[in-house]
Amino acid sequence: MSEGPAGQWGLRQQVLRMFRWDLRYQLRDPRTLLLMILTPLVLVPAMTWLSQSADDRREGPLVVAAPIAFAEWVDSDDALIVIDGTLEEPGAPHGAATEPAGQGDDETAGETDDTEPDVTAPLAQVILPVEQGEPYRVRYRGARLEGSAALERVRTVIRRHEEARRADRFARLGLPPPDQILATAVRDASTAEARAGDLLGRLAPLVLLLLVMTGGLHTALDIITGERERGTLETLLSAPVERRAVLYAKGLSVLVTAGVSTVLALISLGISTALFDMGLDGLDASLPPARIAMAGLLMLPLVVMLTAALMLLAARVPDYKAGQFLSAPAMMVVLLPAGLAALPEAELGPLLALIPITGIALAVREVLSGVAEPGLVLLALGAAVAHAGLTVRFAGQALTGERFLLGPPDRRARHARGDFAVEGVGLFLLAILCLWFFGQTAQGLDLTIGMLVTQILTIALPAVAAVAWLGRPIGATLRLRAPRMRDALLAVIAGAAATGVGQLVALVQSPLIPVPEAFLEQFGGQFEGFGLAQALLLFALLPGICEEILFRGALVGLMERRLGRLGVMLAVGAMFGLIHLAVPRILPTGVLGVLLTWAVLRSGSLWIPIIMHAVHNGLLFTLASTGAVAEDQQLPWYALLGASALAIGLVALMGRGSTAAAEKT
């Protein structure tokens, strides 16, 4: 399609004209101004405060107690020095480790010690006291993950040493053992620069994403969705301007409002950190400008991608309200991969570099803390440019095609066909969001309360509420009818056999996705301190009911018409796998989810997957807690395969044979 003589009325001129009017129009909107001011004034200080309290918790209390003669420590076999997270004999490194101790001059040592940090120093080291009464000093490099791990090892060694000494020494003297023997002062020995870089690198991408989203969303919805809603879009598009010019002008408007609110927020961030005198003292160190510039460059494609994504969203939603409704899930979709990069374990690799948002967030973090590998950073940058390009392309298609003018297909027509697939995805995202925000906090407080809150308030309740809100019959949508006796019996055995399914998948995927040790420990230790009955109620029956209401009930009921049997099995299975927010569990749980979905489709009763789920969890828990299965994967692969085949076979038998009898009732 040719767009007429280009020279007459250049693209740039068109863009600038429209942009100017869009901007003027936008600045008259109290909501825009409110967002621009509210974010820096309220949101940013709140976030700063939160991150500070999180920082406080991370730093454990300083260990101070009665000193003992250091000679005993040095002579003992336990006198180990920790380097790079591994234990080494007190030999050559010992000298290096004791060296800084000579400079130690204040008793409290710790944080205020401004001994010059040695970049080549080990990740963590124990510095022995020169005189009696001085604390043992532990230096570690907190900006490196291994540094934190090394610190933990040092602490363990000290504790062990302490306990050993306590036993014989005090027993010999006939004294009651004191609480602690060794005085230690802990200090982060990373360079201030590295600390600042790491901290800033973790925060910057998250803050940036949040700000661009909050700053740009309203503008995007107002000048894109609103333009159609108000009936000005047809007028605008019948004016002699290129479609591309419309796209660029709107993009520029979104970018500018997002940019202005981001800059304001950053200024506010600076002020509030100074004001609260926060744990961001690492930021006192000025980073090399080259690193900051590089980080800025890395985030540029991210900003472009987000802007385009906001425009895409705005072009696709039917109206402003729908856009706002979707903004929470959209925010989560964006923040989740960024949050992933802020985890201490995350490290830029060739695979993560390719993931949208995560790649750049990691690259920014590593560039700022000065540990980046140029090749990987370049890869992340290239990937981000590609992602941005694709998103801009999609936004371009969305804003220049006929569908932009016509709006999305009428929802009512879709609903009349019983197609609630979009709403199903929305419900799933909402559940993840709830789980992420509230569930984890609640579980941190108390496991019982946490389980109840998570299962009932963030899983079952939203599901039932969504079905009711969409005006669907709850009983029929959730398939609440009573199961047939035969199916229920099959479900009990199938649920038990299904324990093999998850383990089989875990076994198959283990060369690719190893289960991290910490995860196993956490999973195993989760149930400690519960009676069997209480635990079965809490970890088997409760999730059985609540999770099935969401997945096999609401999600299957809302999406099956659109996706078909196979489609809904795969989709709900995938969602079931994803909800646990743990990579090693996606596939095993996902496959289990497919089986459970199949069971509800075959039997026609939600009670069937509830029984299977509860029996499955109950059996796993009983085996683990009674020690019958101490380690995972004790069963050989053929046994697991057999159990899986049995589970599948039993589900296949469900709903068979008595169709005529079922129809009569």
Partner 1 sequence: MIEVRGLGKTFHRPDPIVAVDGVGFHCEPGEVVGLLGPNGAGKTTTLRILATLLSPDVGSAAVAGHDVVEEPDQVRRSIGYLSASTGLYPRLTARETLTYFAELHQVPDAGRRVDALMERFEIGPFAHVRCDRLSTGMKQKVSIARAIVHDPPVLIFDEPTLGLDVLVAQTLLAFIEERRAAGRTVLFSTHVMREAERLCDRIAIIHKGRILAEDTLDGLRARTGETDLEQVFVQLVESAGE
Which residues would be at the binding site for partner 1 (CB under 8 A)? 1-5, 9, 14, 17-18, 21, 24-25, 28-29, 230-232, 234-242, 402, 405-406, 409-410, 413
Nearer to partner 1 (CB atom), residue 34 or residue 406: 406
Strand ranges across the sheet with 124-127: 124-127, 136-140, 184-188
Nearer to partner 1 (CB atom), residue 238 or residue 665: 238
Q: Which one-letter amino acid corresponds to residue 425? A: V
Nearer to partner 1 (CB atom), residue 411 or residue 481: 411
In the complex, the smallest distance separating the C-beta of residue 327 from partner 1, rounded to whole angstroms, is: 22
Round to whole Å and give the CA distance between 559 and 159.
56
In the complex, the smallest distance separating the C-beta of residue 221 from partner 1, rounded to whole angstroms, is: 15
Helical residues (DSSP H) of 28-136, grouped into ranges: 30-38, 44-58, 70-75, 92-98
Round to whole Å and give the CA distance between 499 and 504.
9
In the complex, the smallest distance separating the C-beta of residue 234 from partner 1, rounded to whole angstroms, is: 4
Give strand ranges (E) for 192-251.
Answer: none
In the complex, the smallest distance separating the C-beta of residue 194 from partner 1, rounded to whole angstroms, is: 49
In the complex, the smallest distance separating the C-beta of residue 632 from partner 1, rounded to whole angstroms, is: 47
Bridge partners of 124? 140
Nearer to partner 1 (CB atom), residue 208 or residue 220: 220
Nearer to partner 1 (CB atom), residue 199 or residue 246: 246
Q: Kindly report the number of other CB atoms within 10 A of residue 645's CB atom.
A: 14
DSSP conformation class of 605: -
Contact 81, 93 (CB under 8 A): yes
Q: Which of 221, 301, 287 is closest to 254 using CA atoms?
A: 221
Nearer to partner 1 (CB atom), residue 11 or residue 333: 11
Interhelix angle 11-27/243-276, nearest 10 degrees: 50
In the complex, the smallest distance separating the C-beta of residue 6 from partner 1, rounded to whole angstroms, is: 9
Contact 576, 552 (CB under 8 A): no
Nearer to partner 1 (CB atom), residue 237 or residue 464: 237
Nearer to partner 1 (CB atom), residue 44 or residue 233: 233
In the complex, the smallest distance separating the C-beta of residue 239 from partner 1, rounded to whole angstroms, is: 4
Give strand ranges (E) for 421-470.
Answer: none
Round to whole Å and give the CA distance between 264 and 267.
5
Round to whole Å and give the CA distance between 624 and 612.
18
Round to whole Å and give the CA distance between 123 and 146.
7
Nearer to partner 1 (CB atom), residue 232 or residue 286: 232
In the complex, the smallest distance separating the C-beta of residue 225 from partner 1, rounded to whole angstroms, is: 13
Burial 157-167 (b: 16+ CB within 10 A, else e): bbeebbeebbe
In the complex, the smallest distance separating the C-beta of residue 646 from partner 1, rounded to whole angstroms, is: 42
Report the SS3 class of residue 238.
coil
Q: Which of 344, 380, 376, 339 is closest to 359 using CA atoms?
A: 380
Q: Which one-letter amino acid corresponds to residue 193? A: E
Round to whole Å and give the CA distance between 17 and 239.
13
Question: Looking up tokens 């010019």, which residue turns up?
Answer: 245
Report the SS3 class of residue 473.
coil
Q: Which of 293, 127, 329, 63 is closest to 213 using CA atoms?
A: 329
DSSP assignment of 140-188 equals E-TTSHHHHHHHHHHHHHHHHHHHHHIIIIIHHHTPPPPS----EEEEE
Nearer to partner 1 (CB atom), residue 92 or residue 236: 236
Nearer to partner 1 (CB atom), residue 123 or residue 223: 223
In the complex, the smallest distance separating the C-beta of residue 436 from partner 1, rounded to whole angstroms, is: 34
**Furthest-apart CA atoms within the chain: distance in Å:** 101
In the complex, the smallest distance separating the C-beta of residue 26 from partner 1, rounded to whole angstroms, is: 9
In the complex, the smallest distance separating the C-beta of residue 226 from partner 1, rounded to whole angstroms, is: 9
Cα-only R_g, the chain: 30
Nearer to partner 1 (CB atom), residue 4 or residue 174: 4
Nearer to partner 1 (CB atom), residue 156 or residue 232: 232
